[in-house]
Amino acid sequence: MADKAKTAPQAAKKPAEAKPAAKKDAKPKAADGVEKKKVKKLPVVPESWLKISKFKKGQRPNMLLHRRKIRAVRLLRRKQNLLRALNYEKNYLKKERAVVEQARVAKRKGNIYIPAEPKVAFVIRIRGINKVAPKVRKVLQLFRLRQINNGTFIKLNKATKNMLRIAEPYITYGYPTLRSVRHLIYKRGFVKHRHSRIPITDNFVIERKLRGHRLQCVEDMVYHIYTGGACFKKVSNFLWPFKLNTPTGGWRKKNNHYVEGGDFGNREDKINELIQRMV
């Protein structure tokens, strides 16, 4: 009995084993005993789109200012181009009246008035590449007439007149009027930009390339082409060779000169009638 009494307090001294505390954030179990996993949802709008929209919002004031500047420049250019066109029209009328007045003065004094020689010619290629002499081929290449029914403006001087004489059986040419020059540029005008053929849709196509020569609209080009002005070479090279149709009613006879009832050679003022049939 004494032994049992000694062992009892020793048993009471042993500390009770601590039970693990219940976890507060224990995941709820489903009915079937499988834990539910939290699925991370993707954003509705991609992050790249959010960045782009944020950038655009920051640039919006600058864009509005830029658009206002462009609108103001367009209005200014439109007014300037109208004034330029009016000034050119006045110059054309003044020259025509001067010619008429000089003719009247000469007639009054019993003389004959001989008008000045034309400065510009319009050249059209009418024949193909079969049996073309090397010299003729080179002249056509310099005139940029590489296809049938191609046309270009050429400034007349001693050198170009000799070149026209060499290639005469393959071309027809004459002296265009203001109406013909305008008709060609407005209806069949294409320009050269980065080795590409681009239509003249607005005046900024011209201003972008010829701004350094103080040319900014189509009427500037018409003026320098018709009068053979200081910028004739620049404007002529800027224009792509005109691609015309076969004339309405066809050709008469390409192997004969125009004087003999054919087609090739110098037509002088009659080239304007041919241009109207080919545009």
How high is the mean pLDDT of the chain?
86
Tell me, what's the pLDDT at 35? 57
Taking the C-alpha atoms of residue 275 and residue 279, their distance in angstroms, rounded to an integer, is 6
CATH of domain 120-278: 3.30.1390.20
Give the CA dihedral 48, 52, 55, 59, nearest 10 degrees: 170
Tell me, what's the pLDDT at 54? 82
Tell me, what's the pLDDT at 16? 53
Tell me, what's the pLDDT at 248? 92
Taking the C-alpha atoms of residue 137 and residue 146, their distance in angstroms, rounded to an integer, is 9
User: What are the sequence ranges of the domains in the chain?
Assistant: 54-116, 120-278
Tell me, what's the pLDDT at 1? 45
Say if residues 160 and 117 touch (Cβ distance below 8 Å): no
Tell me, what's the pLDDT at 53? 84
Q: Is 263 exposed, middle or buried (0-12, 13-18, 19+ CB in 10 A)?
A: buried
Which residues of the chain have a pLDDT value below 70? Answer: 1-37, 42-43
Neighbours of 279 (CB within 10 A): 16
Question: Mind listing the pLDDT tens digit for each residue in 74-106?
Answer: 899 899 999 999 999 999 999 999 999 999 999
